[in-house]
Structure 1
Amino acid sequence: MRSTRRTTGALAAAAALAVVCAGCTVQPSDGEGGSPVRVGQPGDKPSGTASAKPEPTATTGPPGDDAKPAPKKAEVLWSRGDTGRDVREIQARLRQVAWLFDGPTGTYDDLTERAVEGFQGKRGLPKTGRMDSVTWQRLLKMTREPGKWDLYLMGGQPAAEPDPRCLTGRVLCVDKTSRTLRWMVGGRTLTTVSVRFGSQYTPTREGVFQVYWKSRDHHSTLYDSPMPYAMFFSGGQAVHYSSDFAARGYGGASHGCVNVRDERAIADLFDQVRNGDKVVVSW
């Protein structure tokens, strides 16, 4: 009789346990001596640990972002003092976008430097005045390939072969055809600059002359205009810096003088040339 009660009680306990665990599945433990692991059923909420995202690090950045390398410093390709065909192309392209109004001359001078600086500033680039790789690519995209006319026939053509009279001594060798002035010593060209001359009504005289007077801060009383770094060679005609030439290019003319537009170049030239040095002006 006692045995029958125990059996009946055990059956009742088993039935109650079955009701409590309805809808549950018991799996083996997740490790030796561990507790059983409950497997979720439809309708259960996720635990939140299975889909946790990795924390960003200093090297990877936020998840999903590609690591971005630090931007490279733009390489300087051309700067003030450089010369050659590439500089002519820079100047020709700057003319196309109205940042330079005369030339090309083939010399990276102060006008070119200011034009590049303006171009850079307009486009949010560092205003260095030097033609770096980033500025160059931007200029290429905005302009077309210049032709020979653009490079040479808008003023500032390549310097012509020097007049034979320029091959000896110390000479300011001025050529009207190419609109250039060579500073030559012993037949060797030390400096070449672009120049402009007088109009048909006030022509620049041709021939062989000598520098007879130098005046660093000269001011013309006849025309009431400045003539810095003037080196007089024939009456009132002189080689000198012209701010008008620097601003307007070949759109203007002198009153007979040989105008130089690169102020730094003429300042250096003024310090080298002596009274008595030869001046040759030819076609």
Structure 2
Amino acid sequence: MSTDVFFPEVCVVRVHWKYAAASVAVALIAALSGCAPDPEAVPAEPVVETSVAVASTPPATSTPTPSPTPSAAESVTATPDATETPTPTPTSAALLKEGDDSDEVRELQHRLLQLQWYEGDITSTFDEKTRLAVEGFQTKRGFNATGEVDQETWDKLVDMTRQPTDDEMHNILRAGPALFRKGDSGDEVKDIQARLKQIAWFSGDITGNYGDVTVEAVKGFQKKRGIPVTGEVDQRTLDRLVAMTRTPTTDELNNVVPTASSTSMTLDDRCLSGRVICISKAQRKLAWVVDGKISMVVDVRFGSELTPTRNGVFSVNWKSRDHVSSLYHTSMPYALFFSGGQAVHYSSDFAARGYNGASHGCVNVRDKAAVAKLFDLAQVGDKVVVYTG
């Protein structure tokens, strides 16, 4: 509020009042200028500004003056500056990172080992190999691939694995009691020999006699899997062998050579015309088919539940003989890409571990000679059919 106070032939004093004490100051100003304030001009509500204006002649009438613009102190509001940049939400702090050395790193490495992201001896050092394993694990789950273990990464890893034993974290291998050893015989030995033969650790006829050939085959299998190398089959060895293989057929157990009919497969109707790579998930087979005639059948392996191989009708988009995955940094020889990054290709892991593992969505072939032949036969544009039957 403001009030114009007039004194004849002298001055006009405009007074803005805020507190009662301000009247003293105004009175002093008016006295020095030869004027006196009008007591009726005191506003009912206090305001901020106090000003004095001097005029030589009073106007004929008094015109109300608009309320002044609020001062800087009164202009402060809760509205942020339009140019202000929001502060990014910080990411979770690293629980474990490269350069750390602790028992927690041992646990991390073994949990990654359980998921086949880490290989080799367990150490207490968070080195480059550990960082790359963490990056792979994070990438596959859609996490920020920093290579550092934050709370989200650790919680997911713990949820997917078991607590490793102290022996496991210190690379101590202890053999269990022997279930089968040299000198044993019977159908159980036949089963072991046939399973070892499926993954190329046993050669020759299935005999059912646990002799030197079987001992060496078991030792080789144990050494490759980090199991105590005894040449005897304990529970750990048997469980791993069964997990990596299928139940042997009667023909396999009795050295019956497969006939042509046993290597055939049931084709989807979409595979009956043209040049087709026909892939059955239920039969775990791939066939090269030309105008409905099968000329090749091979065993195949698919992606896991988290990274499934897509079903449908596709075509060979491009070929790469010596391909290396840019995402997983693994070799993919004789790759025939048919759906984005999914391809038919040779897998040394499938050849060594069988169905115990899974791909990241690709169709793995364990017969290297066969997939090399398929690579030469198939052309860009050939049909690829993936089905569940």
| TM-score, normalised via structure 2 length | 0.37
Higher relative contact order (CA 8 A, sep 6+): 1
Normalized per residue, the structure richer in strand is 1
| TM-score, normalised via structure 1 length | 0.50
